[in-house]
Amino acid sequence: MSWLLGSVQNRSWFDVAWVTPMVLISGVLAAFAASGLRMLALGEETAATSGLSMGRLRTAALIAAALAAGAATAVAGVIGFVGLAAPHLVRRAVRGDPGRVLLPAALTGGLILVAADLAARLTPTDQELKLGVFTALVGAPLFALIAWRAAREWRL
């Protein structure tokens, strides 16, 4: 049940060592795919005419995302909305460039996770709130606000 609700409680440096190779591999693959993601943001046909191998780009991006998400989920459990909210929060700082949003989004996601864990542990309740529950309580309204702003911008 703890894994389903998401928690970083009782994690050790052994868990960090177990996840590190997967995170490093996914980081290298994401860096490889970064320039292609910029072109892909212009549209699929435009990216294809740029000479990029779209098959390799998609494969690298998919494997990077799957490795990073799988390793993090294996150690911490299901912690929702961090991966959805973090890129949207930093997108304006990098002017919407998909290639440059990767590192700031990862750092912001880590910061959100630490802040949510602290808040979940310090919130006075009968039982300690699990991290995944707390991020869902905070992340769902935040993501709804981001979606509402995006829909409003598309209409203009």
CATH code, 2-155? 1.10.3470.10
Residue 104's CB: how many other CB atoms inside 10 A?
16
Q: For residue 23, give both structure tokens.
A: 């995170």
**Would you call 63 helix, strand, or coil by DSSP?**
helix
CB atoms within 10 A of CB 90: 19
For the four alpha carbons of 96, 60, 111 and 138, in that order, the dihedral sign comes to positive
Query: Model confidence over 28-68: pLDDT tens digits?
Result: 998 888 878 888 877 778 777 888 788 888 888 899 989 99
pLDDT tens digit sequence for 65-118: 899 989 988 888 888 788 888 888 888 888 877 778 888 988 998 898 888 888
Rounded Cα distance, 73 and 83, in Å: 11
Whole-angstrom CA distances from 20 to 6, 14, 17, 83, 87 are 19, 10, 5, 18, 21
CA distance 120 to 134: 6
